[in-house]
Amino acid sequence: MSKKVQARHWSQVKDWQWPNFSPAEVASKGDGSLLIDVDAMTRLQRLRTRLGKPMIVTSAYRDPEHNRRVGGAKSSYHMKGMAFDIRVDNHDPEEFEAAARAEGFSGFGYYPDQGFMHIDTGPSRSWGRPFPKRNTRFAPEPEPKRAKKAAKEGAGVAAVAVAAERVVTEAAPMLPDAWVTAAFTVLAIVGLALVARRAVRAGQE
């Protein structure tokens, strides 16, 4: 039987051994209690290392009352600390699933409308509608008369964005994924604001 990490509240956990995740991220969103299967959690950390980018955990352990409240299965592996729901906004679903299988996850639930994938270390099985294949989208080319100016402005914005992203990326291994995700979200918002501002200025010319 696999070892467990258990606590009445996640804040009581000591000697946490999975650097890219915090006890708070995988604790029950109901009463804050924690029950995590060590083998499953270790596989999650190995998956994070393999992918090399943040993983947003929306649900891990669920206390029985919280599991009932959200409509989870009566024998849900979430209540055994062996399941994780991961958002795939920043991952290609096919690549994510292949990597998860390579790390020993065997249960897969697909929720494309909600944007997450369920993975667990229970029996081999799957359910739900698979995620559609993603196509690469390219930004539209600027109009010829504005191309030079747009390129100049874009270079400035890109330089700032690259420098900021480099700082976050270098710090990522030392921070919980939740912090890294928040930092990249802020960068994305700032980038969109700069793009919108440039579009407004272009329309006024």
In DSSP notation, the chain reads ---EEEESSGGG--S---TT--HHHHS-TTT--EEEEHHHHHHHHHHHHHHTS--EEEE----HHHHHHTT--TT-GGGGT-EEEEE-TTS-HHHHHHHHHHTT--EEEEETTTTEEEEESSSSEEEEPPPPPPPP--PPPPPGGGHHHHHHHHHHHHHHHHHHHHHHHHHGGGS-HHHHHHHHHHHHHHHHHHHHHHHHHHHT-
Higher pLDDT, 106 or 141: 106
What tens digit of pLDDT does each residue of 21-66 get? Answer: 999 999 999 999 999 999 999 999 999 999 999 999 999 999 999 9
pLDDT in tens, 118-167: 999 999 999 999 999 877 543 444 545 554 454 454 445 444 454 555 55
CB distance 35 to 6 below 8 Å: yes
Would strands 107-111 and 116-120 be described as parallel, antiparallel, or unpaired? Answer: antiparallel
Determine the Cα–Cα distance for residues 17 and 22; give it in Å rounded to an integer: 9
Identify the pLDDT of residue 150.
Answer: 45
Model-level pTM greater than 0.75? Answer: no
When the pLDDT of each residue in the chain is averaged and rounded to a whole number, the result is 82
Terminal Cα distance for the chain, rounded: 69
What residues pair up with 59 in beta bridges, in sequence order? Answer: 85
